Structure 1
Amino acid sequence: MKEVVRHRSDLSDLHVFYAVAVCGGLNAAARSLRVDPSTVSRALDQLEARLNTRLVRRTAQGVVLTKAGEMALARVRTIESQIEEMEHEVLDSEATSPIGAVTLSCSDGVGAYLLTPALTHLLRENPKLDLRLDCGLWPNNPLEADAEIALVFNAEPVPGYVSRPVAYFHYGLFGTQSFFELYGMPQSPEEALRHPFLHHTAQKLTANMPRKVPAFQDLARRRVETNSSAAVVEGVLAGIGIAGMPTVLASLYPELVMVGDAVEPLELSLVYHRDIERIPRIKVVLKWLEAVFDQKTKPWYRREFVPPHEFAAFTGAQAPNLPLGAGKVTERAPAETQAPKRRIATSGT
């Protein structure tokens, strides 16, 4: 602690010396610093005593820098410049640091398994940011929430809104390795009809959403039927039966085994009103979402199908769904930019 206090005093004396050198005299420096001339004289004497050298020669016209003083001034000028730059950076960071809440709507499965585990980095790096995650369960109608950002499957164009694809979900039939060891591994989707089926009723949501598993699901015995995709996932993991699920879950749960081929993928898009995209709190969440669904490091989100048995090469020892490089946003939002209330229709998945 003594070292910290001593160096802080050194910086204060250096600042006084800088003022004396720039202003050309002790009285002028005192006026600039708004202190008494005796304070300036005392600080300068302390600095010279500590350095054991003369930095200035006092004359009737003011002060003249010695050779040591000229050398010290060059260094102190750099220090003053760096301090000023640091102050500007801190002030700018504080002024543009994301503040407030962002409402994000998505399906319960996406919210529970893909977003919530990745929230740690976002919230730690943005302590003034709050997230309102709306994972409403609507089995037969699109989710309509007062959301600023929505994750929408097979989004349709809406005037005034940005709709940007970020990921592709490939669906297939899944069960656990232990379940198939106990009840037999089907060699085709048709053979899978022997097994109990967990049915997600939201699979019949809207006309623009294709089936996420083949049509034979209508012939399967639905031992469990639910409007919650999270309930389907937990049921499969618990060994109740099989279900149509996205391949990304195999990256989270290696015990899942896929039966047959994947069907046509669903496109997941970021949807938000173009008027709000430059607001810092919105911008940082958008950047975070892009990192969560980064297709370069997470092949299960790519348009082309990558089979689950190839995921191990990408997951490694790291948690597979954590975002990479989702940091703060430092750009200043225009003063006139406001965050209007927007309603975004999304499809529960």
Structure 2
Amino acid sequence: MALNWDDLRIFLHVARGEGLTAAGRSLRLDPATVGRRVARLEAELDAVLFVKSPQGYQLTEAGARYLPHAEAAERAARAMGDALGGQGEDLAGPVRIGAPDGCANYLLPAVCARMLEQHPRLELQIIALPRVINLSKREADFAVTVSPPEAGRLTVQKLSDYRLHLMGHRDLLARAPVAIPEDLRAHRIVGYIPDMVFDRELDYLAEVGLDRPDLGSNSVAVQLNLLKAGTGLGIVHDFATPAAPELVRVLPERISLTRSFYLVRHADDQKVVALQRIARIFAGFFRDELARLERSA
């Protein structure tokens, strides 16, 4: 049976997005069109691939059996494009990058700008989520993480270490200076909402011996803005400090953290030349931008 590749592509987007709306956004199609194409594929296969539930479109048993074959067709299509395009050709098409929101906000915009200068036909999409990106569901082509995953068919590459310090607004610290750790008691603490810390590497406050935050958010960008508003003290990425020149370090000789970024990809993508090239370019620009921002801190 000869199947339409576009229908297979739509099936994959619905399976990964768990719904017509999310698939339509990524495919730039209206949800009704996506639904019709899924129905056409189901008719051709004489099988029900999805069941609609309160959580969205979920794969049926038949859909789950069909998924690896559709993914194999996707890999073959990408490999064919690589073979026809060649190593030296300009890279093109959509690439989705998942990252924690601090990285997404303060590192990736400049990284993506440099990638687009070199390859203007790329369509780069940044997913900033306060949780781990699910590559198995193809939420992204690759992801930046703060700890290496321990399960799944994934390849992991360490990108770089990065540093963090306790910081606060200079006006706040002028009113209530911090010379010794005991002085911290005079200040509110800003940090992650404890039950929303999605990776143990983000549990900064516990490591430096501070209590639960008085002001909490699951977003690094929100935490930084709280500090810029003078509401308290909190742990800040060095690479974010150029965006907040009003913040100064507090007890830097005592409170200094080091963490690492990792680039994570689906194992099958190792066979796709274009994605390997994109990942290599991304990693180089990422390290350059991180080093530049930390030098400015």
TM-score, normalised to structure 1, is: 0.51
Whether the 8 Å contact between 1:97 and 1:126 is mirrored in structure 2 is: yes
Q: Provide the rounded CA distance (Å) in 2 between the counterparts of 1:105 and 1:202.
A: 23
Partner of 2:274: 280
Relative distance call for 1:234 and 1:124 in structure 2 (3 A) is same
Deviation for aligned residue 1:294: 3.1
Which runs of 5 or more residues in structure 2 are unaligned?
1-83
What secondary structure sits across from 2:165 in the alignment? strand
User: What is the match of residue 173 of structure 2?
Assistant: 180
Identity rate of aligned residues, in percent?
A: 17
Note if 1:152 corresponds to 2:145.
yes
**Alignment correspondent of 1:341:** none
Aligned to 1:209: 201
Divergent runs of 4+, >6 A = 91-95
2:238 counterpart letter in structure 1 = T
1:237 aligns with 2:228: yes
Moved more, 122-131 or 105-114: 122-131
Instruction: Note if contact 1:102-1:282 (Cα within 8 Å) is conserved in structure 2.
Output: no
Match of 2:116 among 88, 99, 123: 123
2:249 maps to 1:258 = yes
Aligned to 2:41: none
Post-superposition Cα deviations, 1:38-68, rounded to whole Å, max 9, x if no partner, equal xxxxxxxxxxxxxxxxxxxxxxxxxxxxxxx
Report how many residues are paired: 207
Residue deviations 1:200-253 (CA, integer Å, cap 9, x gap) = 226863574363234543255x0x211111100112122222111222223444
Assess if the C-alpha contact under 8 Å between 2:197 and 2:218 holds in 1: no
In 2, the alpha carbon distance for the partners of 1:132 and 1:233 equals 23
Q: Using the TM superposition, name which of 207-216 and 165-174 deviates more.
A: 207-216
The one-letter code sitting in structure 1 at the alignment partner of 2:185 is L
| Higher Cα radius of gyration | 1
Q: Provide the C-alpha distance between the structure 2 equivalents of 1:256 and 1:186, rounded to a whole number of angstroms.
A: 14
Pick one of 217, 239, 247 that aligns with 1:248: 239
Distance 1:187 1:228 in 2: 29
| 1:166 equivalent in alignment to 2:159 | yes
Matched, 1:196 2:210: no
Q: In angstroms, what is the RMSD of aligned CA positions?
A: 3.1
Provide closer, same or farther for how the CA distance between residues 107 and 160 of structure 1 changes in structure 2, counting only shifts above 3 A: same
d(CA) in 2 for partners of 1:179 and 1:253?
14
Bigger fraction of residues in helix:
2
Secondary structure of the corresponding residue to residue 217 of structure 1:
coil
Q: Deviations over 1:51-109 (max 9, x none)?
A: xxxxxxxxxxxxxxxxxxxxxxxxxxxxxxxxxxxxxxxx9789832121111111111
Distance 1:264 1:244, change over 3 A: closer
SS at match of 2:178: coil
Give TM-score, length-normalised by structure 2. Answer: 0.59
